[in-house]
Structure 1
Amino acid sequence: MMNQNPDFTVIQSDFEAQRWKRAEAGCLSVLRQSPKDLPTLQLLAKIQSAQGDYRGAIATIEKAISVSPNNADLYRQCGDMHFNSRQFKSAIGWYRKADSKLPNNPQIKNNLAVALRDSGSIEEAIAIFESIISANPDHSLPHRNLGDVLRMQGEFDRAIDKYKAAAKLDPKDAATQNSIGITFSMVGKVDEAILHFQLAVDINQTFPEAENNLANALLTARRYEDAIRHATTAIRLRPHFPNAHLTLGNIYKLQGNNKQAISEYKKAAELDPGNAILHQSIGSAMTDAGHFPEAITHLEKALQLKPNFFVVYQNLVALAVQEKYDFSDYQIKRIIDLSSERGLPSADVSRLNFTLGSLLEKKGDYDAAMSCFQKANMSQEKTATSRGLPFDGHAHADFIDNIIHSFNAALMGSDLSSGHPTQRPIFVVGMPRSGTTLVEQIIASHPLAAGVGELPDVAYLADELSKMHQAEYPSCIEQAEAEQLFKLANQYDIRISELCPDAERIADKMPDNFLRLGLIALLFPNAHIIHCKRNPLDICLSCYKSDFGGVRWAGSLKNISQYFIQYHRLMEHWHQVLPLQIHDIFYEDLVTQHEVTAEKLIAACGLNWHDLCLDFYKGDGTVRTLSRVQVRQPIYDSSIGSWKHYEEHLRPLRENLHKELGTEFS
């Protein structure tokens, strides 16, 4: 039905130009004169939906249905509104009504299959998509949607094939390019994902979902400013878009701007208060900032909304271990019951057992705790193996050999070490769980210093150097020129200066930068190196008890011991050849002789002592590591010698470390 009202043409133009408020006002003006004007009702529903006002859009389209109760397209449009508001069951009902009024319509059947797919009825969805493709082989949409189903089932190669078929039929379909980008993101091909997301937004410059997906891919690629630009564009295109605010919050969080991150997360939660992920994000960020009561409020809200939200249990157990939260008997029983369920994804099995293990350890039931930690790590090992990513101790030893060979005494004394003159960087290195977070917090409590957490930037510089010379790191260092190294160093200096513009010293506590101390020495000959050391058994056990997610070497005590041995070997090499002074600091000394050890630490950073460094736990900075709750407390010694609680379980580890390092443990 065409609307002959000249005002409608103007309204349509406003709609197409995304002048939402003007278009909405125009529709309401027409409807005041003609409440049953069907085209205007349909257009108003589209405008409301475009602004995220799905409730209003549904009410409007239901009015249209009352005007024309046999119009199949109206039932389809009502299904679309319910689908857009994630009311999948309601959407399915409306699509079935549309299908009953207009059978064999490919668009209605396609939308029905999409809703079935997103509600979990995969087999029926696939059957409908295949029937549409069989009847309409030249239609691109069912090819793309079938690709989406295959992607959801993890059949990524088949999904890409379907997407390519859809793109061939309709090269200008932005949604297909967006789907290809999503698939490449899921398999870790970030550059390809960015390419296809960019194609999607170039084809359709009013595609907020693709803008948001592009922002997330750019975030993964460390292109923060570009990511912010596209996330902001997504919000401009769709003002009520909680996922874009979530993305923007994640960008700010990774930039170290926790305050702005929390602001964006809260905006998202205001738009979608029933979204558990948003409350978990707020709770996690509040924990990073040390605002524990508010963190608990949001984390508990997330559990109310999603009782099986396993990450939240991990967030809360970190608080519980430090006496900041008490699990109820019901919650503990819930975790035990969930951990026993069959068919859980391996990642959830792992999270639940790490959580339960920490709770049992807190109660002093160490054997039961170890059993949980073993289950958690076995699950992670299984996942890594299934993905073809198991830890290879021999390959890692070869990698360490290459580092030692490449960064030899001759290179460390060469002219390349002129580097960048800045004295700002402090690199805090060591094994994870060796006290790096505590050391960073002490340094950052000094009025002239700041901490930036675990920056991945030095690893990125190594990758960039590798790309420059088309050679693997570390062998690419042999081709590096002084000008290239200075340029890379300058990138890092600009980055940390932007994060902490007023600080004279800036601590980067990425622990595995011990792998790159040779490169760091060439880039920053005036940098300060702090090496955190701790009883090897305490380190290895703590790593085993920690959920590092994608850290491949942490899934078994055998792998952890192999990694530790190679770390120890490399640090011995750096002590021999590095032109920079390495300040070794022992966790045990920091705990038992805190003031004296802290004074030496601050001096090693080129700073004069300040008493604020004794009150590090009172700082208001952001901490985003597994120790984020622990470092908000005064120094305590309960973590020293904690391996003894698990002595029988650690016998093979202890014997292996003794054999390789000649170290005795009392």
Structure 2
Amino acid sequence: MDVTELKALGKARLDDEDLDGAMEAFENATRAAPSDHEAWFHLGVARFQAGQLEAAADAMTTASKLEPDDPDTWRVLGSILDDMEELDRAIDAYKKAIAIDDRDVESWNNLGYVYIKQERARDAIAALERAREIAPDDPGVLFNLAKMQMEVQDWSGAIKTCQRAVEIDPEDPEAWCNLGTAWFKDGDGDATAAIDAFEKAIKMDPEDELAWYNLGIARRASGNINAAIDALQKALAIDGENGHVLYNLAAALLIQGNRKKAMDYLEKAIAIDDEIAGEVLEDEDFAKLRGDPRFVQLTRSHDERDDEE
């Protein structure tokens, strides 16, 4: 078989999800024509799909040297390097793709995502804003942008982004959950709108622990304590080891007047996450417990308890 036939065979096997067969065909193609960019590119794709990341990066790097002006090659190389946690190299690859094609929305979005992983919020937002300019209705772009807007506490910006996301896909529970969070955090917090958004998210995904948790927080803030307890208990049923669910459930139970049960949940919360001991001391809902010996013992710093031990 000549190189054209080998490449066609490899593509057919890729379409059939026969990754071993595809890799074999493309490897034979690269041996038959070592300077064939397409053969190296598709070999990299096949290896990437097979989870052979280092080998995929090697093939795609070879492809990039053969055709350095192909944005697709740089973008896929960036994705491979991202999966390898070679984040600086991934950024460099995405930037090269963008330098060739400034309207490559996937590279802009992926670049923003890598910046998110590096906790470079402002750089992430700049990249994602550019992606949104190019593709204002791309759900992935809107999701990543909203995430970073919330990270920097740009609640009004996050509200607009999330509203657009749910307009595009009203059946996306994650978008509704993000919208609820942004509404709740914006200014004094719109608990009513937030509750409605969280309830929509839960209707679509009843196993969404975060939506149940956020619903409980919003209901607690609105004064609907019984409903808050119900939501937090549902979150706890999904993940019984979430310290902040336990902490907020303790607060709601204390407001309800169930002091002993509140203390039991608080003890579990602090055992899971020692930082909660500091948070609870600043929570006015627990002010009535500050003279309680059990509460005092629970809220001592981690270092003080370690010294005693």
Partner of 1:290: 223
- Give the SS at the match of 1:172: coil
Match of 1:99 among 19, 40, 47: 19
Residue correspondence of structure 1 range 276-287 to structure 2 within 5 A? 276-287=209-220
In the TM superposition, what whole-angstrom CA distance separates every residue of 1:502-544 from its partner, at most 9, and x where no partner exists?
xxxxxxxxxxxxxxxxxxxxxxxxxxxxxxxxxxxxxxxxxx9
Match of 2:78 among 144, 147, 150: 144
d(CA) in 2 for partners of 1:174 and 1:315? 40
Match of 1:180 among 103, 106, 111: 111
Mapped contact 1:132–1:142 kept (Cα < 8 A): no
In the TM superposition, what whole-angstrom CA distance separates every residue of 1:250-297 from its partner, at most 9, and x where no partner exists?
111012101101111111222222222222221222222232332233
d(CA) in 1 for partners of 2:132 and 2:144? 10
Matching of residue 126 in structure 1 with residue 43 in structure 2: no
Partner of 2:279: 547
Counterpart residue identity of residue 158, structure 2: A
Counterpart residue identity of residue 190, structure 1: A
Distance 1:545 1:328, change over 3 A: closer
Counterpart residue identity of residue 60, structure 2: I
d(CA) in 2 for partners of 1:325 and 1:136? 66
Matching of residue 212 in structure 1 with residue 143 in structure 2: yes
Residue correspondence of structure 1 range 583-594 to structure 2 within 5 A? none
- Higher radius of gyration, 1 or 2: 1
d(CA) in 1 for partners of 2:171 and 2:261? 36
In the TM superposition, what whole-angstrom CA distance separates every residue of 1:360-385 from its partner, at most 9, and x where no partner exists?
xxxxxxxxxxxx9xxx36xxxxxxxx
Mapped contact 1:185–1:193 kept (Cα < 8 A): yes
Matching of residue 266 in structure 1 with residue 186 in structure 2: no
Counterpart residue identity of residue 233, structure 2: E
- Give the SS at the match of 2:166: helix
d(CA) in 2 for partners of 1:228 and 1:332? 33
Mapped contact 2:61–2:77 kept (Cα < 8 A): no
d(CA) in 2 for partners of 1:642 and 1:266? 39
Matching of residue 112 in structure 1 with residue 49 in structure 2: yes
Distance 1:319 1:275, change over 3 A: same
Mapped contact 2:232–2:245 kept (Cα < 8 A): yes
d(CA) in 2 for partners of 1:263 and 1:547? 28
Distance 1:72 1:281, change over 3 A: farther
Distance 1:128 1:285, change over 3 A: farther
Residue correspondence of structure 1 range 489-500 to structure 2 within 5 A? none
Distance 1:136 1:328, change over 3 A: farther
d(CA) in 2 for partners of 1:325 and 1:302? 21
Mapped contact 2:44–2:55 kept (Cα < 8 A): no
Partner of 2:39: none
d(CA) in 2 for partners of 1:196 and 1:289? 37
- Give the SS at the match of 1:136: helix
d(CA) in 2 for partners of 1:240 and 1:250? 17
Residue correspondence of structure 1 range 296-375 to structure 2 within 5 A? 296-319=229-252, 323=258, 326=261, 355-356=270-271
Mapped contact 1:143–1:166 kept (Cα < 8 A): no
- Which has the higher relative contact order, 1 or 2, with Cα contacts under 8 A spaced 6 or more apart? 1
Residue correspondence of structure 1 range 179-258 to structure 2 within 5 A? 179-255=110-186, 256-258=189-191
Aligned pairs, how many? 262
Mapped contact 1:147–1:163 kept (Cα < 8 A): no
Match of 1:639 among 276, 279, 290: 290
Mapped contact 1:181–1:197 kept (Cα < 8 A): yes
Mapped contact 1:284–1:295 kept (Cα < 8 A): yes
Mapped contact 1:283–1:296 kept (Cα < 8 A): yes
Distance 1:112 1:297, change over 3 A: farther
In the TM superposition, what whole-angstrom CA distance separates every residue of 1:170-227 from its partner, at most 9, and x where no partner exists?
5432122123223334555433222111111122233112123223333444544433
How far apart are 1:71 and its partner, in Å?
A: 6.4
- Give the SS at the match of 2:170: coil
d(CA) in 2 for partners of 1:311 and 1:641? 21
Mapped contact 2:219–2:227 kept (Cα < 8 A): yes
Q: Structure 2: 5+ residue runs without aligned partners?
A: 1-10, 27-41, 68-72, 305-309
In the TM superposition, what whole-angstrom CA distance separates every residue of 1:296-334 from its partner, at most 9, and x where no partner exists?
3332332333344343233333345562683899x999x
Mapped contact 2:48–2:56 kept (Cα < 8 A): no
What's the TM-score once normalised by structure 1's chain length?
0.34
- Give the SS at the match of 1:273: coil
d(CA) in 2 for partners of 1:224 and 1:328? 34
d(CA) in 2 for partners of 1:642 and 1:315? 21
Distance 1:257 1:168, change over 3 A: same
Mapped contact 1:235–1:244 kept (Cα < 8 A): yes
The CA RMSD over aligned residues, in Å, is 4.1
Mapped contact 2:236–2:242 kept (Cα < 8 A): yes
d(CA) in 2 for partners of 1:202 and 1:99? 36
How far apart are 1:236 and its partner, in Å?
A: 2.4
Counterpart residue identity of residue 127, structure 1: E
d(CA) in 2 for partners of 1:325 and 1:176? 54
d(CA) in 2 for partners of 1:264 and 1:186? 27
Structure with bigger helix share is: 2
- Give the SS at the match of 1:261: helix
What's the TM-score once normalised by structure 2's chain length?
0.66
Mapped contact 2:44–2:59 kept (Cα < 8 A): no
Distance 1:310 1:261, change over 3 A: same
Counterpart residue identity of residue 98, structure 2: A
Distance 1:328 1:219, change over 3 A: closer
d(CA) in 2 for partners of 1:107 and 1:239? 37
Mapped contact 1:181–1:193 kept (Cα < 8 A): yes
